[in-house]
Structure 1
Amino acid sequence: MFFSKHEINRIPLLIAKSFFRKYSTSIIVKTGQEISRLGFGSYRINCKVDEYKLALKKAINSGINVIDTSAHFESGESEKVIGNVLEKMMNEGSVSRKNLVVISKAGYFESIDTSTLPDTFSKINNKSAHSISPEFLQNQISDSLARLKLNKLDIFMLNNPERMLKANNKNYSMSHLHQDIERAFNYLDEEVSIGRIGGYGICSNAMAIPTTSDHISLPIILEKIPESRRHNFVAIQVPFNIFERDVIQRLSSQNYSLAEYSKQKDIFLFTNRPLNAITGGAIRPLVNKCVDTDASFEEVSNNLANKFQKLGELEIELNELFPYIDFKLSSKFIWAQILSENLNKLSQNYFATKYYLEKQVKPDIINCLESLSDYLKSNILNESAKNNLQDWITKYHAEFQSLSTILISYSYLNLLHINNDLDSIISTVSPSLYFDEDSPQKPYSPLSVKCLRINLANSLIGCTLVGMRKLNHVEDSILALTLSDNDITAEYLEEIYNCLQ
């Protein structure tokens, strides 16, 4: 069989299309687009890491045709990466624009100083604000299209508009928010008519939770849209994972869930954060990549104990060898005691621990060490005392850095250990989710694949957006799609959810 040059160029696209057909798909009712039930989420993608580009290319070539981004993701770099990859793939003929659904969002605004922003912005703090004003949206859509190198966004979403209720520069009520959403939609209708967007929607962390103070109601929003223009409001996006299930749950005060209501109104339901749950007031990554956690945990625990001891010895040494230092300054170096006493809490929350150490403790220690350096310069000390104190400063900084790294690893390994237990529980409740050790299909993170399959078993969820920055994230997502079937019955789902109460 011989192929023309045109046919040869289309072979990768034909392969991807054939592969795509192996999986269950969804239809965006108001646009008629057929999409994969898992989409490429690009929250932390930037231009610095080549693997991000490879991951996106692999996802598209594997049949994933939904790409979700936002104007503020990595200050626009997420869109730039996506634009560069899509441009290259389309030029090569390995993907067709019409087979892709590209979603972007706007609302967040970061600035060195928000004090000069107009009142159309809700100023959250000195460096962060939020807006859905027509003028802001127009600029954001233009910037997004330029970075993505596209003429049209398939769906454009207002990103967490409820955040505007936190305004500290003006009185801003739910009534004001509804008025601004209505005004934004009126403007977006114009964007649909000129062809820069195919439709619009709302991405919200609060829409699925009627009991929260910043809840925005989909029925109330729909009431404000004229019947003749409701076809432009095509989708919503909310969190959904094995712990956060609000979108599929009915409250006693209503006889439908948000998922049921949106389906009834032909509003497509995207969900996000399938593998990053907020539970118990903390972020819990649903991952248990294949490592020997017992052996690693023991090794890290021993290293951590040694580092606590060394840092503690340095803190005692500061008071014993340098008694002339102001007590107000020297008494601040008690981090070995503080961190060791709170080790249990720190080990329970990987993200919080990482943030606490890197964004709070480390800057505080650096400030204190700089104060010690200033003390060296401003006080008359003999050469030996100066050298000894400078040597102590250098050692303390190095030991804290080492302790911080090990403590973060300790917290992460503890997370993996807890998640291994969760993995076992899910496999016990629903045996069809179990991975045999001899299986040729080896997931990077067995728990992640199980959680994605559980999401896919919920027929009311149109498309789950998965963070796929890395190749192994894409491979796990493809595996979840491959294994997605009818084995996870409604009864199994209920049992899984009940065991997580």
Structure 2
Amino acid sequence: MKYKVLGKTNIRVSSFGFGSYRVTSDSRDHYKALRLALRSGVNLIDTSSNYMDGKSEELTGLLLESEPGVRREDLVIVTKAGYIQGRNLDIVNRRASEGNPYKGVVTCSESLLHCIHPEFLSDQLSLSLERMKTAYADVFLLHNPEYYLSYTTGLDQNTLRKNFYAGIKEAFEHLETEVKKGRIKYYGVSSNTFVEKPSLRNFVSLEMLHTIAQEISADNHFAVVQMPMNLMEKNALVNYNLQKGEKSTLRFAASNNYGVLINRPLNAISHNAVTRLADFRASERNDYKHLASAYETFRKMEDNFRNFYIHEINVTAQQKETFLKNLNLTVIIRNSMSALTAPNQLTELYDYGIQPRLNLITEFAQSVAGDDASFGLKMNEYSRQLDRLITIMHNLLAAEANRRNSKIHSVLDNYLPSDVQGFTLSGKALYMLSSLPQISSVLVGMRKASYVEDVVSVSDLEPLPNPEEFWFMEK
């Protein structure tokens, strides 16, 4: 594993960090993946109070508590605050109902609020440290403060920005007190709009944040920024949006010795669609005739189940309505097909749209089947046909994604040494990012051991001698 210095913090961090956006303390696989990453040389963990409703931070705490070989002083823990959803939303709503609301709360939707007011940040940090079983965070980031700019209404642009940066200054001043208390070592900002055009309504200027921090103290602890960047989203480096068009955000950060963390290195957002920068494995070759046949077989089986439970099972009307509401997997699959472009999207659909309903179908059916031995056989066949349909869909999506990826491979290979040209697309994408000297650490979602292994495969490579050649030459 290669290591870099995290800007003016002088903290030595692994060139790849463990991104914890979708990991949870409920998963043994996630625990094993984090443990493997640390054993492989990763020393930076990036998490947030809202990731998996706090269970991401709890995973870090669980590992610190359970692994005697893991020492807190060997880790660099980065966490964030700002989002209000899930358990945080309950806390905020309860305070409001008691007549003691947090100040500075911005409403984004019924289920999502946002806040960076000092009192809120203080309470959030306390909860984060408790979940992570640690006395301090190495880095504490304001999480996407641009939500204030996006969702505040009734103000002209000048007033909006004036209020926004006043709120940032107030937050920074508070975080300096947290440094003095020893609860954090450094602080910073994670923003998706650092890299955008200054004319954008919710643009966050690193130049302005730098000025604010200097106004507070020349010896301030504003030291780390986080932003998105990948093979398709290059603005962090190529969009000269600061110092009157003289520097990009990445160059400005480097010239002022800020540590830079890169997120979404493998998930590119373009035209409101997400492209996964990875190769995919297919278990067999399938065509659309296979898909049509598997879909029709599963549809008929689901119809038979529906008719059986409507006419044969003696349950209440409410029970029947609940059951039939979930016995609609063919509809969910059919309505989703046109939007799926890669196997990872299918996995999301299965994990969050299909599997929960399948569990409810199975539990309900078992509860009313009694000792009917034939039910088990029917349910097994139903699950088997669903698995067959999902497998064919995966194989077709994998083949199509890999065909698209072949073009990206061809472009990248023009800039890569021969010993790297055989790597996976994700490996190449990560290598291209980590080769940029302005980047301190690339944050990678490593929910599985195989993801950790993919990162490790490129972690010891020497950086490209002229990495910017690709970033500026290729669109």
Q: Does 1:143 align with 2:134?
A: no
Q: Cα distance 1:106–1:313, how it changes in 2: closer, same or farther (>3 A)?
A: same
CA contact (8 A) 2:240 2:249 kept: no
Q: Does 1:254 align with 2:268?
A: no
Aligned counterpart in structure 2 of residue 68 of structure 1, from 24, 33, 46: 46
Q: When the two structures are aligned, how many residues end up with a matched partner?
A: 435
Name the SS for the 1:296 alignment partner. coil
Name the SS for the 1:466 alignment partner. strand
Name the SS for the 1:161 alignment partner. coil
- The residue type equivalent to 1:52 in the other structure is H
Aligned counterpart in structure 1 of residue 30 of structure 2, from 38, 48, 52: 52
Extract unaligned runs of 5+ from structure 1.
Answer: 1-19, 318-332, 370-393, 438-442
Aligned equivalent of 2:113: 129
Write the mapping of 1:184-199 to structure 2, written as runs, cut at 5 A.
184-199=171-186
In structure 2, what is the Cα distance between the partners aligned to 1:355 and 1:472?
18
Aligned equivalent of 1:175: 162
In structure 2, what is the Cα distance between the partners aligned to 1:404 and 1:177?
50
Name the SS for the 2:217 alignment partner. helix
Q: Cα distance 1:53–1:354, how it changes in 2: closer, same or farther (>3 A)?
A: closer
Aligned equivalent of 1:16: none
Write the mapping of 1:87-486 to structure 2, written as runs, cut at 5 A.
87-89=65-67, 91-92=68-69, 95=71, 97=73, 99-111=74-86, 117=96, 118=101, 120=103, 121-167=105-151, 173-210=160-197, 211-225=199-213, 226=215, 228-229=217-218, 231-251=220-240, 254-289=245-280, 291=281, 293=282, 296-298=284-286, 301-310=288-297, 343=337, 345-348=338-341, 405=390, 409=394, 412-414=397-399, 416-422=401-407, 424-432=409-417, 446-486=424-464
Identity among equivalent pairs (%): 25
CA RMSD in angstroms, aligned pairs only = 4.3
Offset from partner CA, 1:274-327 (integer Å, 9 cap, x none): 1111123211111114x3x4x73416x34421144357779999xxxxxxxxxx
Q: Cα distance 1:55–1:308, how it changes in 2: closer, same or farther (>3 A)?
A: closer
1:460 positional shift: 1.2
Q: Cα distance 1:206–1:418, how it changes in 2: closer, same or farther (>3 A)?
A: farther
TM-score of the aligned structures, taking structure 1 as reference length: 0.73
Q: Cα distance 1:123–1:482, how it changes in 2: closer, same or farther (>3 A)?
A: same
Q: Cα distance 1:433–1:65, how it changes in 2: closer, same or farther (>3 A)?
A: farther
In structure 1, what is the Cα distance between the partners aligned to 2:189 and 2:336?
40
1:59 positional shift: 1.9
CA contact (8 A) 1:36 1:65 kept: yes
- The residue type equivalent to 2:61 in the other structure is G
CA contact (8 A) 1:287 1:419 kept: no
Between 1:69-78 and 1:410-419, the stretch displaced more is: 410-419
1:82 positional shift: 1.0
Name the SS for the 1:67 alignment partner. strand
TM-score of the aligned structures, taking structure 2 as reference length: 0.76
Aligned equivalent of 2:7: 29
Name the SS for the 2:8 alignment partner. coil
In structure 2, what is the Cα distance between the partners aligned to 1:314 and 1:178?
59
Q: Cα distance 1:229–1:477, how it changes in 2: closer, same or farther (>3 A)?
A: same
Name the SS for the 1:208 alignment partner. coil
Q: Cα distance 1:487–1:296, how it changes in 2: closer, same or farther (>3 A)?
A: farther
CA contact (8 A) 2:129 2:137 kept: yes
In structure 1, what is the Cα distance between the partners aligned to 2:400 and 2:133?
40
Name the SS for the 2:444 alignment partner. strand
Aligned equivalent of 2:372: none
In structure 2, what is the Cα distance between the partners aligned to 1:360 and 1:168?
33
CA contact (8 A) 1:51 1:469 kept: yes
- The residue type equivalent to 2:409 in the other structure is S
Q: Cα distance 1:250–1:110, how it changes in 2: closer, same or farther (>3 A)?
A: closer
1:268 positional shift: 1.3
Aligned equivalent of 2:310: none
Q: Cα distance 1:58–1:314, how it changes in 2: closer, same or farther (>3 A)?
A: closer
- The residue type equivalent to 2:38 in the other structure is I
CA contact (8 A) 1:271 1:464 kept: yes
